Structure 1
Amino acid sequence: MKKALLALLMLGAAFAVHADQPMSDHGIVDHYCAKANTQRDMDECAAAALKDADRQLNATYQAALKKWAAFPDTTAKLRQAQRSWLAYRDADVAARFALADKERAQGTAGTAYPMAHSLYQAGLEFERVARLCEFLRGDAYGERDTASCADLAAHPAVVPHQP
């Protein structure tokens, strides 16, 4: 029992060493909006957070496709998963802001709406980047690459097809 627990702890420690954890909602605000003083500043920094999240999401996804290009079944499943995740993201954001969207259409929405919308979507996208990074690392296949997700996305190692 002690050996199994020790092995499980070691596996968890190995995972924690290279896992890129997504920023918390507070972390996103602290990172992108620390110097914001006005609502306009907050809207702009939230938009910057979303733009960065979009960029990271696209780069990590494209790197994963490139890495696994020699395995068409894997890349087809990854494309399907990404399309499904995008549909989930859009539905989740729509559900979260359904009342605000209605108020916005009526001209009665609060001024914090653009900021809240952008920060929420950015948070979802940063979470997805972390998941795609684990796929990019090949964790499910026993790889233990400890490079940062940004480095892996910029320079994906291609897995050669083996007959």
Structure 2
Amino acid sequence: MTDRQFLPCRIAVLTVSDTRTLDEDRSGDTLVERLTGAGHTLADRAITPDDRVGIGEHLTAWIAQPDIDVIISTGGTGLTGRDVTVEAHRDVYEKEIDAFGTMFTVISMQKIRTSAVQSRACAGVAGGTYLFALPGSPSACRDAWDEILVHQLDYRHMPCNFVEIMPRLDEHLRRK
């Protein structure tokens, strides 16, 4: 047991879709419900079309905002021609969190079996901000949040978590 206090993160949610609106965004709704229910703050929310440059610009603008600690996108992680979210994320990453995609695949395999191979969920860090790219289904968003993110975005989670190293994510950008 730890005596650490919960430290809320400021999380932005980006839905990547050519067809959804905020009223129809069940995956975004799922993430907002989960993150606010865990005690975090919704810093911003938006929908952007499946366009690599546009997604990258949105991510870059949010990375530059000091009041956003984490960006979670949903949608565009599949294999079709319009699925470019992973490429847009990797365009802005300074470092990729390789094990996130692996862990997400293992969790998905327990639920959707070999269909998990079709997901390209990924995560990384840029400008002191964590970025996570999740598939566009509410169930995939629930799985990623409930099995990985709720723990790693909780300062009380031991033996280690993303929050405790957050102050050092951009140390390479600061003058020495």
Which structure features the higher share of helix residues?
Answer: 1
> Highest Rg: 1 or 2?
1
TM-score, with length taken from structure 1: 0.31
Q: Using CA pairs under 8 Å that are at least 6 residues apart, name the structure with larger relative contact order, 1 or 2.
A: 1
TM-score, with length taken from structure 2: 0.29
Which structure features the higher share of strand residues?
Answer: 2
